[in-house]
Structure 1
Amino acid sequence: MGLNLRNAIIHNVSGNSQDELKDTIVDAIQGGEEKTLPGLGVLLEVFWQHSSQEEKSMLLETLEEGLK
Structure 2
Amino acid sequence: MDLNLRKAIIANISDNDKQQLEATIVDAIQNGEEKMLPGLGVLFELIWQQAQQDEKQEMLTALKQGVEQAATS
TM-score bucket of the superposed structures, by smaller chain: over 0.9
Number of matched pairs: 67
Structure 2: gaps of 5 or more residues = 69-73
Aligned to 1:26: 26
Q: How does 1:1-68 map to 2 (within 5 A)?
A: 1=2, 4-68=4-68
Partner Cα distance (1:30, 1:45) in 2: 20
**Superposition CA RMSD, Å:** 1.1
Q: Alignment partner of 2:51: what SS?
A: coil
Could you state the TM-score of these two structures normalised by the residue count of structure 1?
A: 0.93
Could you tell me which amino acid in structure 2 is paired with residue 27 of structure 1? D
Q: Alignment partner of 2:12: what SS?
A: helix
Q: Greater Rg, structure 1 or structure 2? A: 2
Partner Cα distance (2:57, 2:15) in 1: 27
Percent identical residues: 55
- CA positional deviation for 1:29: 0.5
Could you state the TM-score of these two structures normalised by the residue count of structure 2?
A: 0.87
